[in-house]
Amino acid sequence: MSLSTAAKYFVPEPSRWPIVGSVALLLMAAGAAIWFNGGGAGMYMVFAGLALLTYMMFGWFGNVVHESEGGQYNQRVDVSFRWGMSWFIFSEVMFFAAFFGALFYARNLSVPWLGDLENKLLWPGFNGAWPTAGPGIDTHFTPMGAWGIPALNTALLLTSGATLTWAHHALRENKRGQLLLGLALTIALGVIFLGFQVYEYIHAYNDLNLKLTSGIFGSTFFMLTGFHGFHVTVGAIMLTVILFRCMRGHFKPEHHFGFEGVAWYWHFVDVVWLLLFVLVYWL
């Protein structure tokens, strides 16, 4: 007995894209190792790998878009995509959990312990108060305050989450004009956020002497904010792709997981920034 259309599961034909991506990553990794050790060819290998990776992403995601718009994906495939995106975001949660854990360990355990009475002979003059560069590091800096650009960036990202939710509701109601406007506003807010973060970094380096070399505070600050900024950049690129797809008439009120997956990712980035604002800038 043949399976119904709803019960069938689409299996794509063998693809060349995984091996293309693997070669691209190998080029980038080997090129970075050669470049960092002074090899002149390393830089060219990195950029060649990056170009090949970009080509792979356009080709592979293009195939997926054509399959989706061609009606190949049913409810069972949709559930698989949802599980895949959920596990991907969970892996991103674990990344940030490790970085926040490093901040907690340094701030609440390591630094106070190095400043207690048992370590006064080893590190005289170090009081173990946060923020600090750490014992034995002779550098002075001013930590970034919360009530300036960080607060403004918080408002921008929270607003972008609202505009994206508005766009999602517009898609469900098949209001294409509101959908496009909501997406465009979300992307614009994300780009403005990144612009302010670049300005904040310039201000930190030039005026506050807050750098990657500023000991444990500088390294944790730039690790967390920089990694989050990278995620905002990726999210803005993904939203731009979704915007162009919407302009071409892609996605339907009852079938639009490509949009939903990117929305999940953007809301995750918003939540992480709230934690960053409270734990890195405010407290």
The maximal CA–CA distance of the chain, rounded, in angstroms, is 82
pLDDT of residue 4: 47
pTM across the whole model:
0.86
Concatenating the DSSP letter of every residue in 162-196 gives HHHHHHHHHHHTT-HHHHHHHHHHHHHHHHHHHHH
pLDDT of residue 120: 73
Q: Which residues pair with 255 in a beta bridge?
A: 252
pLDDT of residue 133: 85
Q: How far apart are CA 56 and CA 90, in angstroms?
A: 24
pLDDT of residue 125: 77
**Cα–Cα distances in angstroms (integers) from residue 118 to residues 108, 111, 126, 134, 196, in the given order:** 17, 13, 12, 16, 43
Q: Which amino acid is at 145?
A: G
For every one of its 283 residues, what pLDDT tens digit does the chain have, with 9 covering 90 and above? 344 445 677 777 788 999 999 999 999 999 999 999 988 888 999 999 999 999 999 998 888 888 888 878 888 888 888 999 999 999 999 999 999 999 999 999 988 888 786 777 777 777 878 888 888 787 888 888 889 899 999 999 999 999 999 999 999 999 999 999 999 999 999 999 999 999 999 999 998 999 888 889 999 999 999 999 999 999 999 999 999 999 998 888 888 888 999 999 999 999 999 999 999 999 8
247: helix, coil or strand? Answer: helix
Reading the block at residue 193, the tokens are 């956020």
Reading the block at residue 42, the tokens are 């390393």
* CA neighbor of 215 nearest in space, from 99, 145, 144, 135: 135
The burial of 216, by beta-carbon neighbours within 10 Å (0-12 exposed, 13-18 middle, 19 or more buried), is given as buried
Q: Which residues pair with 252 in a beta bridge?
A: 255
Please give the domain boundaries of the chain with CATH numbers for all domains: 13-72 (1.10.287.70), 76-282 (1.20.120.80)
